[in-house]
Structure 1
Amino acid sequence: MRRLARPTLLALPALALAVAGLFHPHHLTYDTSWRWFTLHLPGLLVFPLVGLALAALVGTRTDPLAWAIRVTAYVYATFYTALDVISGVAAGYVTHELGPGVPRPEAVSLLFRIGTPLGELGSWALLATCALVVVDQVHRHRARGAVALVLLPGAWLVHVGHIFAPEGVVGMLLLGVGTAAAATADATPPN
């Protein structure tokens, strides 16, 4: 039971975002704006934890690969949180405050124009982090470390689908499962 505590804890951020993705509206309108806004508020706390969980897989190691994982996880956490603040919290709040029946002003579109590329940079960093984690896991655990490969399609699905259902939800599920699997491989003694 104790052996599963760390993998479960490291999987929780991505799994929580997968659940949130089931409720994430696909389009921002006045009718969806309050849900859009309120879903992104806790996202400010949870999106960075996905990167932290991946960085935690290298523990306190100080080798270059461990540092590369930490740095790319940090870049993901920073830029994806910027997306969350701008295109999630700010755009949702402004759209709701404008009231019903008001067409989206150019100012809200401008929020997406800056939030989207910041999120894109963050999602590329997430892909890089996952690729580095796979290299690290396979290097240290050989075939047993290959369980981390599920991180790659997970990160790709988040890259193309944010946390929108179905792609983003599946992507976050795979990130949670892959992080837990890598943590389990770390905790399993070699044969």
Structure 2
Amino acid sequence: MSQKSIWPVVGIALSPLLLALLGVFHPHELTRMNAQSWTTLHLFLLLLFPMLGVNLWWLASGIPGVSAWAIRVMGFFYILYYGALDVLAGIATGLMVQKNMAPDAPQVSALFDTGNTLSQIGVWSFLLGSLVTLFLYWQLVGRRAFLGGLLLIAAALSFLNSHIYFPVGVITMVVMAAGFAFLMHSRTYFRDLTPQNRK
């Protein structure tokens, strides 16, 4: 692999790897003791989680057709709705507990419930985007898309319930990073699918 082609591979793997690292330190529940660190952590996650959707856009970049646009739309829905999880169940709940509200107070629980409900739209959109990505890349590079696509879909399935909690969520992000990286590497072998060159 040339030095020019390795940087996109590294770049697309970076955000899930950083999420895996932060997942090691992600508390499994919000308490009065960790409310401040919980809030701070989710401020960083608010920046990083949207990058997974940007990665879907990156994989679809420069590719014409309906499938590529479906990937872009699914990436947008993921960014929009999964971001609500960090805002509501991360930052808002942490701030409320810092203001001496009990972690199990009805208001805090309502924020968790709303964030989790909205995040489900996000993770299902990410899974659909991953499925379409494998379909599209299978057209473009054939069997070279198989490993990366399967790893990305396996991670997306786990992501439906794992968030980044250690250990499952951390492993999920590492697998996702590998899937993104293999798919990005496979772009080297793209066939031209512009309309005038389709058989």
With the length of structure 1 as denominator, give the TM-score of the two structures. Answer: 0.93
Residue 10 of structure 2 aligns to which amino acid in structure 1?
T
Corresponding residue of 1:84: 86
Corresponding residue of 1:27: 29
Percent pairwise identity: 32
CA change 1:89–1:103 in 2 (3 A) is closer
Q: Is the 8 A contact 1:94 1:108 kept in 2?
A: yes
Task: State the Cα distance separating 1:25 from its structure 2 match.
Answer: 0.3
Matches within 5 A, 1:96-175: 96-98=98-100, 102=102, 104-147=104-147, 148-175=149-176
Partners of 2:187 and 2:165 in 1: CA distance: 31
Q: 1:75 aligns with which of 74, 77, 82?
A: 77
Residue 180 of structure 1 aligns to which amino acid in structure 2?
A
Question: Structure 2 regions of 5+ residues with no counterpart?
Answer: 192-199
Partners of 1:79 and 1:120 in 2: CA distance: 8
**Deviation by residue 1:99-147 (Cα, 9 ceiling, x = unmatched):** 7xx4632110110121110011111111111111111111211111102
Task: State the Cα distance separating 1:188 from its structure 2 match.
Answer: 4.0
**Deviation by residue 1:21-43 (Cα, 9 ceiling, x = unmatched):** 11100011111222211111011
Matched residue count:
188
Task: State the Cα distance separating 1:61 from its structure 2 match.
Answer: 2.3
Q: Is the 8 A contact 1:25 1:35 kept in 2?
A: no
The reply to whether residue 64 of structure 1 matches residue 60 of structure 2 is: no
RMSD (Å), alpha carbons: 1.5
Task: State the Cα distance separating 1:189 from its structure 2 match.
Answer: 6.7
Partners of 2:36 and 2:81 in 1: CA distance: 23
Q: Is the 8 A contact 1:160 1:167 kept in 2?
A: no
Partner of 2:61, secondary structure, is: coil
Q: Is the 8 A contact 2:16 2:52 kept in 1?
A: yes
Corresponding residue of 1:7: 9
Question: Structure 1 regions of 5+ residues with no counterpart?
Answer: none
Partners of 1:189 and 1:156 in 2: CA distance: 26
With the length of structure 2 as denominator, give the TM-score of the two structures. Answer: 0.90
**Deviation by residue 1:69-106 (Cα, 9 ceiling, x = unmatched):** 0000110011000111000111111112217xx46321
Corresponding residue of 1:185: 186
Partner of 2:62, secondary structure, is: coil
* Structure 1, 66-75 or 55-64: larger mean CA deviation: 55-64
**Deviating 4+ runs (over 6 angstroms):** none
Partner of 1:30, secondary structure, is: coil
Residue 106 of structure 1 aligns to which amino acid in structure 2?
P
Task: State the Cα distance separating 1:153 from its structure 2 match.
Answer: 1.2
Residue 140 of structure 1 aligns to which amino acid in structure 2?
L
Partners of 1:129 and 1:170 in 2: CA distance: 20
Partners of 1:103 and 1:184 in 2: CA distance: 45
